[in-house]
Structure 1
């Protein structure tokens, strides 16, 4: 080939490869199915890549493109394929081996099979550094403007839904958001008194590990932004080094070349600062500065809203917890765990509560409830209702009477609020469980053998509503009784534990029962497992939970003592006592004498209820000699005596009947009252004695 001066002579007309090479225009061939991409020598030269540095895939180009540029190019190609176009083109900012910036233009032709599926892209890759003025100035600037504006708008829209500081930081730390902004690192600092607390940092390995706490008067760009309430733009590494020597040791080993620190201002005062770091050189345009300041304004509003939400929520939760019992008393014979979780979807206080009330004589009252609404009025009503129901229980009212009185109290408050509640009295010596329910969800019992049951408790109206006609008990709240054996677990909760978005209560109840059935035996561990059903984030409603496990090893024989409270006006107590006596006597191997023991106990209970004012306590136990002992204690000091009853007398035969049925009986003074007792020897023991 001839030479003319220092330039080689080229053939006429020039071959296409010569034309492309002289104009620094290379070619590429991209197989979409395999992911392989071929770059010719000129294309490698344009990208300042050696052949041994290129792995033959599109990822090999990314070493010369900024993350934001690579993301933009990917989006351009994807959009062309999605729209069914055959061509695309884009100017991208690239970087030479020495780090100096340049421009590259990429243009591709998309090949599709007969079904329209893209399978190959053939194109050119051109050095655009010598294009007139700024390459693709108009279109590229328009695209960059639209891109940054879109990023700010989308980020602001997402931040509008942030409810906590963590929500805000999660949005800012999202790598895709950083890529679209062109930043490689983001830092969020919150003003804490005279210091700035760094609470969020950007991509791992590229953030600046500033001190977690820095003073506002310190020589850091974030401190300066807060102090002056003006943005700080740093357009070169020299400005980092000379302006902020305390920060420079952290910046120097990184590829950061510029940055901006935006003050976050809410209601005229700084609440924090946002830092963005870049690998780009050069000043920020006026439009970029305006967009970044708009981003800072959106972040400031979201951050203030999140901080206020957390403050109000913490205050509400603290008030709620202050109205709940400060501690759960130790109850002999039972293990009890309680939990309360506030709602995370709202900032208002709730009306859920629980309580544990020791009642003496081995009995304990447990309650759980939920006042309608989520505000301070609901919390105030909850506090009053919990205290008054506790007082009625301590006074010795039956569960039905205590619930009826609490409902009347709530109506007298004239709050137009109602409440649901479940109240249970447990005799831990006998295992007798008496429950009343006021519009609340049913409790769950897990037996010692692992089986789980939803207890259908007869229910009355929610507390505070006008009463219906009173039922047989006269209270409107019927009592449901059952036996809680050693090792059995009672679970009471509010509906916040079983509510699921898009699901009904039955689905939530099934999940609860499955969790109880398969949960740990330890009450604390079981309570934690049940709370995991809604998670730490909680849901749209607050939740209260109470778990009670009767101590002892599961025992099918029912060998423990039995105790039953007898209250005047409680028509259910004698019938329940007779049922339990018969079951206990059978478990103790004295089924042959069950009728005699039941009849004698019935006479003693009737005497206590008819001839005394305060009712009494029935107990049934095995003595050390293996005899079955029935005792009824009352508060009357008058001692009973045997007397003759005429043919037409309506009383006087009780003790005579007891004397005839029992092997022995007697009366023992007990302080301000007395105990009337009788004992029975099991038939087998008696027969053995007679045979001897």
Structure 2
């Protein structure tokens, strides 16, 4: 077999070929050393001295002399490497360290040593090499810096994408352009975002360094601008010099020339294969865009495009939802003589920004006013549509003259007939502003609140019925499922009604929210509009994603008409509290309407008629009190009517000496100025009247 080191005789080679090992080492700035550990002397050949930038006369054979060239920190690190190799029993080591040249500059060097040991394993000699590693590590540093730049750019895309994931509006997307943790790390002197709108590009954001970017607010897609070009071609545009700006976009150049801009990048924002916008970045640098930079910028544009499309769709849905919501709520709140009214509505923060909360204010004859508030289950367009229908239906029932309980029961039936699985909660209050009598019905809703004139606040306990849509049982006279709570609203007192979106917080107890609300009402301003704003500001921002409705009604007690009034309430046989509530209504109305000394008689007779109806008939009764004018004489009359579903007429009868019943109609006949019975459909109405003086 031929020797691999042999040279064919026919080939001509140089006389000094192959080169001696010393020549190879010297030409590659590599020298050798021999270190006798027993004597401590270290031999360095001439190439090794050149690596350390030493002349032959400057080295005395002792390693300590080299410390003039090796900085202390580097010497300590090198000593650690060598000592550890000697201690561990290794036969070789290697390390990079820096030396200081004659001109004071630092230069990277590499050493590699072979350790020789005696029979006992004790090291006694190190033979090795030293070489110049400056060019080697310079290349490595450049590669490291390039990797660092790649990691930085990748981090920009990742951070920007993460921030954009939470952006819900175009404004929030544009805020990313100014975020130092996002696009601020691209080192661009200006960042622009244009949105395609109706054949034009609308510049919605520009600059993070206050540079006046020379693109106009609105430009045509066919205009000679780079933004327009990338929208037309759907291709990114990289401009690498000022000369390219000048030659490619002469119309734009006069605006670019005063700026310290040398390069530009314009990226189309494409979603579902169509351009929705464009991202522009201006730079003040001279290096060209690498392939990695271009790819990352294109990836960044893709991420921004998806977020921008999502934001545009969200704003469109928001505008639609807001318009639908406003159409479902009352367009205006009527002026109510004798009262002040303040209403507020806040849309939900989540979903489509639409909900089922509502309020309404209904002026009624006789100086009365009805106020309602409610909440349809859900936060979507169906909830808003049902809310609008339900609000109008309840308003219609009240305007037709149905008493509160009947109106609420009929609203429940209406919702049931809509053939939906949604239910609703609601509260309705009817106030006679002349008398202050307040009748409240509640269908699964929060209890209302009362703020007195001195600022104190309390909950009004209202006996409630099932939510609307769950109870459809209303009988003759109406409202079997919705008992009425009657109270008096004094001048200066404020009725507060709200939906749970004002008081509920995720993960918190509802009672805590109610307590915060009452505390806020107590400490709130006296002005009703300012109080409504205060409640929304202090409590609304702490809520969750639910929508919220708020209604405040304050009785002034001065401007309300003092003429005829009418109050009505249903009294069920199985609800003793309803009878007490009706007595309260009769007493308050009689006193407020000027019955004076006969107020007790009015209450006593009304109680007798109601009790008689509940005892001798099946089902409940409807009691009504109103003011009627006296024909042919000065004065007015209070008329009390008790209507039930029985056609049997009441008959006076002798009670006997020890009887406890039978005296009721005699009492009515004795105390009332007039009384009688009228047929009402399949039932009857027993009425009585009391003369009261005309008001001055």
TM-score w.r.t. structure 1 length? 0.67
Distance 1:195 1:106 in 2: 58
Change (3 A) 1:293 1:429: same
Aligned to 2:625: 617
Matched, 1:382 2:391: no
Report the alpha carbon displacement of residue 246 of structure 1 after superposing the two structures with TM: 4.0
Distance 1:182 1:486 in 2: 66
Secondary structure of the corresponding residue to residue 373 of structure 1: coil
Report the alpha carbon displacement of residue 391 of structure 1 after superposing the two structures with TM: 2.2
Cα-to-partner distance string for 1:411-461 (whole Å, 9 max, x where unaligned): 233312211111111111111111111111222222111112222222222
Partners of 2:377 and 2:424 within 8 A in 1? yes
Partners of 2:270 and 2:305 within 8 A in 1? yes
Change (3 A) 1:491 1:208: same
Matched, 1:434 2:434: no
Deviates more, 1:602-611 or 1:230-239: 602-611
Decide which of 225, 241, 248 is 1:243's aligned counterpart: 248
Partners of 2:564 and 2:628 within 8 A in 1? yes
Partners of 2:344 and 2:550 within 8 A in 1? yes
Change (3 A) 1:515 1:620: farther
Matched, 1:369 2:374: yes
Decide which of 470, 475, 483 is 2:480's aligned counterpart: 475
Change (3 A) 1:339 1:395: same
Cα-to-partner distance string for 1:564-621 (whole Å, 9 max, x where unaligned): 614575787875465467679999999xx86x5311454378789999x996434599
Aligned to 1:411: 416
Aligned to 1:603: 605
Distance 1:469 1:604 in 2: 24
Q: Equivalences for 1:128-143 in 2 at 5 Å?
A: 136-143=141-148
Partners of 1:523 and 1:547 within 8 A in 2? yes
Aligned to 1:75: none
Deviates more, 1:322-331 or 1:204-213: 204-213
Number of residues paired by the alignment? 543
Matched, 1:518 2:514: no
Partners of 1:566 and 1:573 within 8 A in 2? no
Aligned to 2:233: 228
Secondary structure of the corresponding residue to residue 156 of structure 2: helix
Q: Equivalences for 1:20-419 in 2 at 5 Å?
A: 136-208=141-213, 210-347=215-352, 349-419=354-424
Q: Equivalences for 1:454-465 in 2 at 5 Å?
A: 454-465=459-470
Deviates more, 1:171-180 or 1:279-288: 171-180
Matched, 1:654 2:677: no
Change (3 A) 1:460 1:106: farther
Change (3 A) 1:377 1:172: same
Report the alpha carbon displacement of residue 536 of structure 1 after superposing the two structures with TM: 8.0
Deviates more, 1:306-315 or 1:229-238: 229-238
Secondary structure of the corresponding residue to residue 379 of structure 2: coil
Report the alpha carbon displacement of residue 339 of structure 1 after superposing the two structures with TM: 2.3
Change (3 A) 1:598 1:566: farther
Report the alpha carbon displacement of residue 304 of structure 1 after superposing the two structures with TM: 0.2
Report the alpha carbon displacement of residue 486 of structure 1 after superposing the two structures with TM: 1.6
Deviates more, 1:522-531 or 1:442-451: 522-531
Partners of 1:264 and 1:272 within 8 A in 2? yes
Partners of 2:235 and 2:267 within 8 A in 1? yes
Change (3 A) 1:137 1:533: same
Decide which of 480, 490, 497 is 1:492's aligned counterpart: 497
Partners of 1:666 and 1:677 within 8 A in 2? no
Matched, 1:504 2:512: no
Decide which of 678, 684, 690 is 2:691's aligned counterpart: 678
Partners of 2:591 and 2:599 within 8 A in 1? no
Matched, 1:631 2:645: no
Change (3 A) 1:587 1:545: closer
Aligned to 1:443: 448
Distance 2:540 2:380 in 1: 23
Secondary structure of the corresponding residue to residue 344 of structure 1: coil
Change (3 A) 1:455 1:231: same
User: Any unmatched runs of 5+ in structure 2?
Assistant: 1-53, 60-64, 74-96, 98-104, 109-133, 614-620, 644-651, 656-661, 677-686
Q: Equivalences for 1:534-553 in 2 at 5 Å?
A: 539-552=544-557
Cα-to-partner distance string for 1:4-61 (whole Å, 9 max, x where unaligned): xxxxx999759999989xxxx9x9xxxxxxxxxxxxxxxxxxxxxxxxxxxxxxxxxx
Distance 2:226 2:142 in 1: 32
Deviates more, 1:561-570 or 1:299-308: 561-570
Change (3 A) 1:243 1:528: farther
Aligned to 1:117: none
Change (3 A) 1:475 1:318: same
Secondary structure of the corresponding residue to residue 481 of structure 1: strand
Partners of 2:195 and 2:201 within 8 A in 1? yes
Deviates more, 1:514-523 or 1:285-294: 514-523
RMSD of equivalent CA atoms = 4.7
Distance 1:105 1:342 in 2: 67
Distance 1:435 1:566 in 2: 12
Partners of 1:566 and 1:574 within 8 A in 2? no
Deviates more, 1:130-139 or 1:144-153: 130-139
Change (3 A) 1:258 1:589: same
Change (3 A) 1:633 1:477: closer
Report the alpha carbon displacement of residue 205 of structure 1 after superposing the two structures with TM: 2.4
